[in-house]
């Protein structure tokens, strides 16, 4: 079939499917893109010819479209991915943060940046980076470290090898992430006689790799000796759709569960075994369980420093780890006994083996943790969800109200600032009130585009985007895409007048407030500590066509949330919140080093305290 490279690429994508558990879906059901000279005559022409079988969506920022694709892939549990096409130069480099977010979070996205002319004669073309000693290098080479597969198509027939590889990586649970196929501007329009067989329907089975029986036997031999076991559930539980198996194992053998950010909502029931979020931004109950655990069953987590407290959270001198993960790299972290496997398959095998071994819950351990959990519940009621006289609403109160108003089928999204920590600590995901936290790359600006991705993936209820004022200011523009496409999202914006989570960290590690609040430059101090800026977020949202509400009180927030549910359009609820009020800490340490030398006595004291804590808490596990 004589086709251009761009036409062949899209025709190939139209024929690709994924299959898991007997369910087949289109692997790449849509393409997002912003055109420029680097892709308009190539991919743009081919997309227009495709018609509705491969719908095209036009966003307003290339980074955002990759974030939409990530939100979509996460909501699809990695069964489908979106493609994103950009022009060359800045259009392409705008996708880099998205590529890194996808790769860090192990979520499949297909990136198709335009590239400089393969024929070279006409260069430097507009937006070309000229490297003094490397003529085959372009800005797209920046995608290499943030992609799980990279190729540049400098001849049409290269598609025949590149595209199957791309599909293999996108559908591999251990290898997936950003896949980048760079497409030189001229080559996109070149024609070639492709074999018709290349475009035949193809299905990529997303494997459920079973565990090695010997590692299962070894893994269940350990819990018999353990008196304080704990499960840490990561994103892998959600991607593998292993919630039922996780709940069964945890409840049958009385093993409490803490969830990571990516794994938030892995336990769907209101289970007595659930300790909530674990790690730096988790609950004190989970922190206690982590600190005391002598056996930790890790399931599908990459063990970021927020989970391990920078290798300080597990304080039991005899602690041992078993790690179920599709990636052997992750499974071997912390010196764990690796169970390289799909989470659902491994949990089923572990449950069967534990039954056979006659494993029983440890009553004393369960009682102990129930006490810690009840204390946390009391703190929530008396401190976190309760109003404080003379203060604006706290973000804790905000989350409590949003959680109470949420219904089955709704999903709340957060990624940067204090919102992801708030949700990990406070959100109750039982009753089908799903939670989607991106805290692998924690990229400000992920939230609104991801909301579109979650909606596009078919969220049945409300899609709430819980976002800080700073993050909203970084990237509110995909609201326009939401309205253009009728993809309804409801943004709940906490107006606390600054990058307050960073200010809080700064106060704890540097001791002085500097540069984080939204204040004008003071003529005397010549610093940003003048008046707070009067930013009208509601007007900003309205100017893009969204509905907007300004709220200050809990009742106003409840009313706005109900209005928003009834409203077909996307909207923004701007909530005035207390600037420096945060929910109580988990007690888990985090390694952020204060300056080793300073003129300031306060900073020196913070450094001393940091060194004491580091010495006392941080460990090597091997």
Ligand X SMILES: Cc1ncc(C[n+]2csc(CCOP(=O)(O)OP(=O)(O)O)c2C)c(N)n1
Would you tell me which residues interact with ligand X (CB under 6 A)? 416-418, 442-445, 468-471, 496, 498-502
User: Is residue 578 part of the contact set for Mg ion (CB under 5 A)?
Assistant: no
- Binding Mg ion by CB under 5 A: which of 421, 468, 571, 594? 468
- Binding Mg ion by CB under 5 A: which of 211, 470, 511, 594? 470
Location of structure tokens 């006595």:
601
Phi, psi of 476 (to 5 degrees): -90, -5
State in angstroms the smallest separation of the CB of 505 from ligand X.
9
State in angstroms the smallest separation of the CB of 320 from Mg ion.
41
Report which residue's Cβ sits closest to Mg ion: 468
Distance between CA atoms of 312 and 619, rounded to whole angstroms?
A: 6
Distance between CA atoms of 195 and 198, rounded to whole angstroms?
A: 6
Q: Among ligand X, Mg ion, none, what binds residue 349 when CB lies within 5 to 8 Å by partner kind? A: none
Contact 285, 276 (CB under 8 A): yes
Distance between CA atoms of 230 and 209, rounded to whole angstroms?
A: 24
Location of structure tokens 């001791």:
511
Among the candidate windows 208-216, 280-288, 469-477, 541-549, which touches Mg ion by CB under 5 A?
A: 469-477
Count the site residues for Mg ion by CB under 5 A. 5
Q: Among ligand X, Mg ion, none, what binds residue 114 when CB lies within 5 to 8 Å by partner kind? A: none
Q: Among ligand X, Mg ion, none, what binds residue 350 when CB lies within 5 to 8 Å by partner kind? A: none
Location of structure tokens 């523009």:
477
- The contacts of residue 211 (CB under 8 Å, 6+ apart) are 324, 339, 340, 341, 345, 346, 349
User: Is residue 469 part of the contact set for Mg ion (CB under 5 A)?
Assistant: yes
Residue 103 or 500: the one with the smaller Cβ distance to ligand X is 500
CB burial of residue 593 (10 Å; 0-12, 13-18, 19+)? exposed
Tell me the CB-side half-sphere exposure of residue 602, using CA atoms within 13 A: 8
Residue 147 or 418: the one with the smaller Cβ distance to ligand X is 418
Residue 140 or 500: the one with the smaller Cβ distance to ligand X is 500
Q: Among Mg ion, ligand X, none, what binds residue 501 when CB lies within 5 to 8 Å by partner kind? A: ligand X
3-state SS class at 538? helix
Q: Among Mg ion, ligand X, none, what binds residue 351 when CB lies within 5 to 8 Å by partner kind? A: none
Residue 284 or 468: the one with the smaller Cβ distance to Mg ion is 468
State in angstroms the smallest separation of the CB of 500 from ligand X.
4
Q: Among ligand X, Mg ion, none, what binds residue 442 when CB lies within 5 to 8 Å by partner kind? A: ligand X
Site for Mg ion in 490-509 (CB under 5 A): 496, 500
Dump the DSSP string for 443-505: -TT-HHHHHHHHHHTT-SS-EEEEEEHHHHHH--THHHHHHHHT---EEEEEE-SB-HHHHHH
Residue 295 or 474: the one with the smaller Cβ distance to ligand X is 474
Within its chain, how far is the Cα of 189 from the centroid? 36
Tell me the CB-side half-sphere exposure of residue 377, using CA atoms within 13 A: 10
Q: Among ligand X, Mg ion, none, what binds residue 444 when CB lies within 5 to 8 Å by partner kind? A: ligand X
State in angstroms the smallest separation of the CB of 214 from ligand X.
42
Distance between CA atoms of 605 and 154, rounded to whole angstroms?
A: 58
Task: Summarize as ranges the residues that interact with Mg ion (CB under 5 A).
Answer: 468-470, 496, 500
């Amino acid at each position: 079939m004589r086709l251009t490279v761009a036409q062949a690429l899209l025709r190939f994508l139209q024929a690709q499917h994924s299959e898991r558990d007997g369910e087949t879906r289109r692997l790449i059901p849509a393409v997002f893109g912003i055109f420029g000279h680097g892709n308009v005559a190539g991919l743009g022409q081919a997309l227009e010819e495709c018609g509705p079988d491969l719908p095209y969506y036009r966003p307003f920022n290339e980074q955002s479209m990759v974030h939409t694709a990530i939100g979509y892939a996460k909501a699809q549990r990695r069964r489908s991915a979106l493609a994103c096409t950009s022009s060359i130069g800045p259009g392409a480099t705008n996708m880099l943060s998205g590529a890194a977010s996808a790769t860090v979070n192990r979520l499949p996205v297909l990136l198709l940046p335009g590239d400089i002319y393969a024929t070279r004669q006409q260069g430097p073309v507009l937006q070309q980076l000229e490297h003094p000693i490397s003529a085959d290098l372009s800005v797209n080479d920046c995608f290499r470290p943030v992609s799980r597969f990279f190729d540049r198509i400098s001849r049409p027939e290269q598609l025949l090898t590149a595209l199957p590889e791309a599909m293999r990586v996108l559908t591999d649970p251990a290898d997936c992430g950003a896949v980048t196929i760079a497409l030189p501007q001229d080559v996109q329009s070149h024609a070639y006689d492709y074999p018709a067989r290349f475009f035949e329907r193809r299905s990529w089975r997303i494997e459920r790799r079973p565990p090695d029986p010997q590692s299962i036997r070894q893994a269940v031999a350990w819990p018999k000796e353990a008196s304080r076991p704990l499960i840490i559930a990561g994103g892998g539980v959600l991607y593998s759709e292993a919630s039922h198996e996780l709940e069964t194992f945890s409840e049958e053998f009385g093993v409490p569960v803490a969830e990571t950010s990516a794994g938030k909502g892995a336990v769907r029931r209101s289970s007595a075994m659930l300790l909530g979020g674990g790690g730096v931004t988790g609950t004190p109950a989970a922190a206690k369980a982590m600190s005391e655990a002598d056996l930790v069953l890790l399931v599908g987590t990459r063990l970021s420093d927020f989970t391990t407290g920078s290798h300080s959270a597990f304080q039991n001198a005899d602690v041992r780890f078993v790690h179920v993960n599709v990636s052997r790299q992750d499974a071997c972290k912390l010196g764990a006994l690796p169970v390289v496997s799909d989470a659902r398959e491994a949990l089923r095998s572990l449950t069967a083996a534990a039954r056979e071994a006659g494993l029983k819950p440890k009553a004393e351990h369960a009682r102990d943790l129930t006490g810690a959990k009840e204390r946390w519940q009391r703190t929530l009621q008396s401190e976190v969800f309760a109003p404080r006289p003379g203060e604006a609403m706290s973000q804790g109160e905000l989350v409590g109200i949003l959680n109470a108003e949420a219904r089955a089928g709704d999903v709340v999204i957060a990624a940067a600032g204090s919102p992801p920590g708030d949700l990990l600590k406070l959100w109750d995901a039982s009753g089908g009130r799903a939670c989607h936290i991106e805290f692998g790359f924690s990229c400000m600006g992920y939230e609104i585009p991801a909301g579109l991705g979650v909606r596009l993936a078919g969220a049945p209820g409300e899609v709430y985007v819980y976002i800080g004022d700073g993050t909203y200011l970084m990237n509110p523009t995909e609201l326009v895409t939401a309205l253009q496409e009728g993809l309804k999202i409801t943004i709940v914006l906490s107006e606390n007048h600054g990058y307050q989570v960073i200010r809080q960290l700064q106060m704890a590690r540097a001791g002085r407030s500097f540069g984080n609040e939204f204040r004008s430059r003071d003529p005397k101090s010549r610093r940003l500590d003048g008046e707070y800026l009067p930013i009208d977020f509601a007007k900003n949202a309205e100017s893009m066509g969204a509905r907007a509400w300004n709220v200050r009180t809990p009742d106003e927030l409840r009313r706005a949330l109900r209005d928003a549910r009834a409203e077909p359009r996307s909207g923004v609820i701007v909530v005035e919140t207390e600037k420096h009020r945060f929910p109580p800490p988990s007690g888990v340490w985090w390694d952020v080093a204060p300056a080793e030398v300073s003129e300031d006595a306060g900073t020196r004291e913070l450094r001393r305290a940091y060194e004491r804590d580091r010495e006392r808490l941080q460990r090597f596990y091997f």
